[in-house]
Amino acid sequence: MKFLQAHFCLVFSICILSSCIVPESTHKESTFHLLTKTNYDQNDTFTKTSIKEEGIGVDTVGTFYLRQIELPYYLQENRIITRPDHGKIEFRENQRWGEPLVEGIGRVLGLNLSHLLKSSFYSVYPHREKVGTIFEIGLTIHRFERVSSSKVLFEGTWQLFTNDFKNGSYPITNGKEIVFVDIDISDSNEVIINNEVLALSETLSVVAKRVSIAIGSLGSTN
């Protein structure tokens, strides 16, 4: 009887101790990423534009306001995605944006355009438009993601507005952009995600350059 009691106590103690053992966690910490501005060549700038209103030529620096950017719903969260085909989206739990994506895109486009237009007089939504701003830029993004193992895609439309300080803002030109950029996949998986973010940043560089060319061309047509 005593043997059975001792045996029972031993088994019971082992069960209690085993229940206190915490299994090793398999949780992986998330890595957070930011889009970055482009280091353009010194020649990639437009210093002045010229707008003619009612026969009066007005030379202005490229002052601008970037309106609220429109993003599809699936891009409005902080997990970085892959969209290998039109009907499938892959969310990566451990690779995330370090800021709301819409704000990161606006921040980088603003910095890129500021450099290209040589203008520090600009603002980006959600900040208020500065008094005296000449141009407003609207942007609708349809795609902004990795589409294969080696490419990212930007697809969207932009519209350029001008303020004549009499009739308010009105559209003057627009464009559609489909930009593919290669990802450097020669590194390890941990580095490849960084290269993917760099490639997405590069698509914004292309968009900013095309918008700045549109603004710069206003002067050459007058």
42 domain-assigned: no
Is 11 within the bounds of a domain?
A: no
Domain presence at residue 140:
yes
Range of the domain at 158: 51-220
Percent of the chain with pLDDT over 70: 75
pLDDT over 70 (residue 184):
yes
Asked if the structure places residue 39 within a domain, the reply is no
Lowest mean pLDDT among 29-33, 36-40, 166-170, 171-175: 166-170
Nearest to 77 by CA among 56, 92, 60: 92
The count of structural domains within the chain is 1
* H/E element, 14: helix 2-19
Rounded CA separation 35/105 (Å): 7
Q: Does residue 219 surpass a pLDDT of 80? A: no
Q: Measure the CA–CA gap between 153 and 144, rounded to whole angstroms.
A: 6
**C-beta atoms surrounding 149 within 10 Å:** 10
Residue 165 pLDDT exceeds 70: no
> Phi/psi of residue 111, each to 5°?
-65, -40
Is 59 within the bounds of a domain?
yes
